[in-house]
Amino acid sequence: MEKKGVPDIIVNNAGTINRNNKIWEVPVEEFDAVIDTNVKGIANVLRHFIPLMLPKSKELLLTSLLDGEDPVLPCIKMWDLAHSTNASFIFDVFCWSVIIMVAPYCASKWAIEGLTRSVAKELPDGMAAIALNPGVIHTEMLQSCFGTSASHYQAPDAWASKAATMILNLTGADNGASLTV
């Protein structure tokens, strides 16, 4: 922040998953690790950056929910583009899904949607918090759940192109929305 100042875009991205197990077989420590990363990590980023961004709230604060894998890197590249537009963006990415054997992960992502919608109501005019569901992306995390069938889903680079176009067209009117790329 010393070099570029307060960011206009925050890609609020946290994603870890439990080993495939029924909820009653997931060790407490593993459940806690998923919640600590996926929910508390997102909340900590919001608590740190929103106060810094409030004085700049001119157009848009986007909260989108991404898992901590490859798709986030192209989104960071969008920071330079949006930085020149006087917009404020925060991205938190989540997934509207219920997947067998990863209940802690699913619970954490649903929590992020609720958190994002609540934050949207707390923000001043000119800022927006938007929950962004990336859809199903072929990542190592997906492979841990779906095995070889994960390769049937879109690659992170294909997703990033679609997401960038969508994100750069969002406005303050989208505040509180839950959108899917």
pLDDT tier at 166, thresholds 50, 70, 90: confident
b or e along 4-14 (b: 16 or more beta carbons within 10 Å of the residue's beta carbon)? eeebbbbbbbb
Q: How many domains does the chain have?
A: 1
In a domain, 132, yes or no: yes
Structure tokens that stand for 18 in this block: 């439990």
Does residue 34 sit within a domain?
yes
User: 6-10, 25-29, 110-114, 177-181: which range is least confident on average?
Assistant: 6-10
Q: Which of 109, 123, 121, 7 is nearest to 65 (CA)?
A: 109
- Return the closest-CA partner of residue 180 out of 114, 97, 107, 122: 97
Q: Give the model's pLDDT for residue 70.
A: 38
Q: What gap in Å lies between CA 124 and CA 21, rounded to an integer?
A: 42
Residue 141 belongs to domain spanning: 28-168
Distance of CA 148 to the CA centre of its chain: 25
Q: How far apart are CA 131 and CA 92, in angstroms?
A: 6
Residue tagged 């901590």 (tokens): 68
- Asked whether residue 164 is domain-assigned, the answer is yes
Contact 34, 16 (CB under 8 A): yes
DSSP 6: S
| β-sheet with 89-93: strand ranges across | 9-11, 89-93, 130-133, 178-180
CATH number of the domain to which 84 belongs: 3.40.50.720
According to DSSP, residue 108 is labeled H
Q: What is the pLDDT of residue 20?
A: 94
Would residue 76 count as lying in a domain? yes
- Which has the minimum average pLDDT: 41-45, 62-66, 128-132, 158-162? 62-66
Residues 18-53 have pLDDT tens digits of 999 999 999 999 999 999 999 999 899 889 888 888
Residue 175 inside a domain? The answer is: no
Instruction: Please tell me the predicted confidence (pLDDT) of residue 122.
Output: 92
Tokens of 74: 């192209």
Q: Which of 87-101, 103-117, 144-158 has the lowest mean pLDDT?
A: 87-101
Cα separation, 64 vs 12, in Å, equals 7
CA distance 52 to 36: 23
Kindly state whether residue 39 falls inside one of the protein's structural domains: yes
**136 in a structural domain:** yes
Residue 3 lies in a domain: no
Which residues have a catalytic role annotated?
105
